[in-house]
Structure 1
Amino acid sequence: MVDKKHYVEELKNKFLSKEACIGILGLGYVGLPLGLTFAEKGFSVLGFDIDQEKIHLISAGTSYIKHIGSERVNNAVKAGRLSATSDFSRTTEPDALILCVPTPLDKYREPDLSFVINTFEAMLPYVRKGQLISLESTTYPGTTEEELRSRLEEDRGFQVGNDLFLVYSPEREDPGNKKFNTATIPKVVGGTTPSCLEVGKALYGAVIEKVVPVSSTKAAELTKLLENIYRAVNIGLVNEMKIIADRMGIDIWEVIEAAASKPFGFTPFYPGPGLGGHCIPIDPFYLTWKARAYEVNTRFIELAGEVNAAMPEWVINKTMEALNEQGKAMKGSRILVLGLAYKKNIDDIRESPSVRLLELLRDKGADYGYIDHFYPKFPRMREHHFDLEATPFTMEYIRAADCIIIATDHDDFDYDLLQREAKLIVDTRGRYRKNFSNVVKS
């Protein structure tokens, strides 16, 4: 009989020597950069995804994510460090299996763990003794223990912490951030047992500069939620302040800049057309849903969510008012949304407020469209459908539009040209600090 100490030391030695094979389940905005980081540090990486197009592109050494260069993928593939498959029977091969799959909300705005559960169920028959499993998907406290550990022990008979190891380590990717990358962002890790934590620290410590251990998977799960709820609440506050400032005729961007000059006690957050991305608009609902099981009402968090969710409607109302000032109705007016992604300089459209703006423009009868070179054609989405192609960013199309809403301020748009040629601009991102007759700050 092989004892726990043997498995612990074997895995730690494999991670230290980089002889371990790392399995990445889910090759999206989190999984691909994580897999590349392991590959670039000398590990053999086997990626898993149900999307055959991603498998094909990786095998061809091509990136499908804008801010990740194809050169990185090609170098890893050519070096024999990165490969990809849709065959989940091969999950028996890696020494570590890292789940990086989506955790969205369902139509009732409650946690949808179907991607996690379905992926885990697909790999479960092939999990073997001596492996480490890490969940990185954002979720509510208790998921790792309640959904994963229970299946490993009850369905497969493993002794988690003895012959198989389970940790939770929340992803902290920030697409497009040039200051930090996967390897330099500190990694929080919580284990289901002390030996699980020990092995988890060894895994991530092999490729990431700083590992931050916490006492349990629940603590690690709540850490991720706190990080993003902190941002959601503060963005909700500044969005509400934006409305107050607008009614008072005050420039909120000027106020934020002045407040940020204080060297202590203030962190600047910035308003916008709403929240986007795979974390900030979603994470508060994971906690509020779980909190109800403990008979706790998360009023403060939910209020911030209401404020942020109302921002697209507020922007559309500001647009209607601005058009009225020019003697135009929104119905029939040509209105272009500038930028589809949820933040600038990336090609990630998940939960983007730009999509909600397009829906509202459609509902109001506008002749609507969008400008975004990252998306020549509106992409396939699970809940949103538009048969649209991108409008070119040219003087001709800018002049022809009745209004342009700056929803995502990609740096490579020519904002001087836009200001000179557009009839009306609704700026939701504070791109224009000076006052112009054709710019409405929203």
Structure 2
Amino acid sequence: MRADLTVIGLGHSGLPLAQAATAAGIRTVGHDPRPGTVGELNAGRPPADGSLSAAELRRLLACGFRATADPTQLGGARTAVICVDTPLRADGALDLGPVRDAAHTLAAVLRPRTTVVLESTVYPGSTEEFVRTVLEDGSGLRAGRDFHLAYAPSRLDPGSRAYGYANVPRVIGGLTPACTEAAAAFYGRFTEKVVRARGPREAETAQLLEVNYRQVNIALVNEMAVFCHDIGVDVWDVIRCAETKPFGFQAFRPGPGVGGHSVPVDPNHLSYPSRALGYPLRMVELARQVNTRMPRYVSQRAAALLNEHGKSARGARVLLLGVTYKADLADQEGSPAGEIATRLRDLGAQLSFHDPYVQRWSAGGRPVPRAEGLYEAAAEADLTVLLQHHRTYDLQGLAAKAQLLLDTRGASPTGAAHRL
């Protein structure tokens, strides 16, 4: 089957794009360099991160979608979208290696009049200075003349029942006005609204602003949670009151840390040293520091709670509830649960976990036993810590069974648990 669309990178953003495009009647092929991933998808086995359910994957395959690890199968599509992950390196910089590899793979089969769109998280300037160079050098074609090139930041809200591909506006920034219109025409086939940016740099920077906005505001409310606990104020009631203000305020909730694929990006860590700013974005830098301290704070609160009730963390039985980064999803990307488990284990605690979406889980390279009987495990544990509030959890029932319950999500009824 000759495809109209090639999706490169079949992860948390590539598969939903393939799903939306296929549902709109666009013949789609997906490429991933991992043969194991390709084989699992083509066999109808959904990804472990929950980006597609088994039923959704069956429908996708029934509509003709196929995954491949063979780069020679990518030629001929009218549109190619790069959706590979760009995780943070140890030094805090984005790893653009997967984007380079994807662009290099595409360049070998790139044909004239193809529309190429980058969706991966990158630095401002990456589409024009990095991806464009790889594509042109590998294909011999010129962006803006022989093929269209644009950036469209991913705006997924995984697991959301309110927001999907159709009703979330897509920002498009093309290398030329014609590139913008070509990309807009593609997304317009399955998106209700397309917002045209002045160019790829503006579109890239819009994503950077959106991601850092989330990080900074979560950091603010996390600091407020620590402050309110220290002065004996209920932070959850504070937020409930504050969010009644109809202007100038948007409610964020504290938690045990920040996870997910939308990593905070400091544009001082550019891949092009000659363009480095020479100074960090101080708000982003501080927000990262605040949010990365939360797992340690939760571990300290857990140990303090045990101590207040005459128990030491050493030898205490601690049950962790919910180890994914977001409620009602299986995706563990960036979840703070791993660090919290490691810290509690270092204090000598005996750990177990429960998560309806996770059957096996390790923290710090060591497996954590899974509790099969939730209420029995909560009754036996010296401390139960809610890290993620999945809808299946009956917190009132758990509070009645648990000897001690620390709720890091503020989801339990008032007075039923110790809340962050």
TM-score, normalization by structure 2: 0.94
Task: Give, as a single letter, the amino acid of the residue that structure 2 aligns with 1:404.
Answer: T
Distance 1:288 1:408 in 2: 33
Per the alignment, residue 120 of structure 1 pairs with 103
**Counterpart among 359, 362, 366 of residue 349 in structure 2:** 366
> 1:376, 1:389 within 8 Å by CA — same for their partners in 2?
no
Name the SS for the 1:271 alignment partner: coil
**Counterpart among 384, 400, 404 of residue 404 in structure 1:** 384
Distance 1:330 1:256 in 2: 31
Instruction: Output one character per residue of 1:153-185: Cα deviation in whole Å (capped at 9) or x when no partner.
Output: 234321111111111101111111100112221
Report the CA distance between 1:69 and its aligned residue. Answer: 3.1
Q: Percent identity?
A: 34
Report the CA distance between 1:122 and its aligned residue. Answer: 2.4
Specify whether residues 351 and 60 from structure 1 end up closer, same or farther in structure 2 by C-alpha distance, changes over 3 A only: same
Distance 1:214 1:126 in 2: 28
1:172 aligns with 2:152: no
Distance 1:117 1:139 in 2: 11
Distance 1:260 1:412 in 2: 26
1:377 aligns with 2:360: yes
Structure 1 unaligned segments of length 5 or more: list them.
1-18
> 1:138, 1:283 within 8 Å by CA — same for their partners in 2?
no
Name the SS for the 1:151 alignment partner: helix
Structure 2 unaligned segments of length 5 or more: list them.
none
Distance 1:262 1:374 in 2: 36
Task: Give, as a single letter, the amino acid of the residue that structure 2 aligns with 1:343.
Answer: K
Instruction: Output one character per residue of 1:52-86: Cα deviation in whole Å (capped at 9) or x when no partner.
Output: 34323332344325363333322232232x11111
* Aligned residue pairs, count: 415
1:222-371 matched pairs, under 5 angstroms: 222-279=205-262, 282-285=263-266, 287-290=267-270, 293-371=276-354
Report the CA distance between 1:362 and its aligned residue. Answer: 2.1
Moved more, 329-338 or 146-155: 146-155
Name the SS for the 2:412 alignment partner: coil
Name the SS for the 1:289 alignment partner: coil
Task: Give, as a single letter, the amino acid of the residue that structure 2 aligns with 1:194.
Answer: P
Report the CA distance between 1:151 and its aligned residue. Answer: 1.8
Report the CA distance between 1:139 and its aligned residue. Answer: 1.3
Task: Give, as a single letter, the amino acid of the residue that structure 2 aligns with 1:284.
Answer: V
1:430 aligns with 2:410: yes
Distance 2:332 2:210 in 1: 21
1:104 aligns with 2:104: no
> 1:342, 1:408 within 8 Å by CA — same for their partners in 2?
yes
TM-score, normalization by structure 1: 0.90
Report the CA distance between 1:337 and its aligned residue. Answer: 1.4
Per the alignment, residue 124 of structure 2 pairs with 141
Report the CA distance between 1:299 and its aligned residue. Answer: 1.2
Task: Give, as a single letter, the amino acid of the residue that structure 1 aligns with 2:33.
Answer: I
1:204 aligns with 2:171: no
> 1:335, 1:401 within 8 Å by CA — same for their partners in 2?
yes
Name the SS for the 2:368 alignment partner: coil
**Counterpart among 16, 29, 32 of residue 33 in structure 1:** 16
Give the CA RMSD over aligned residues: 1.8
Task: Give, as a single letter, the amino acid of the residue that structure 1 aligns with 2:52.
Answer: I
Task: Give, as a single letter, the amino acid of the residue that structure 2 aligns with 1:191.
Answer: G
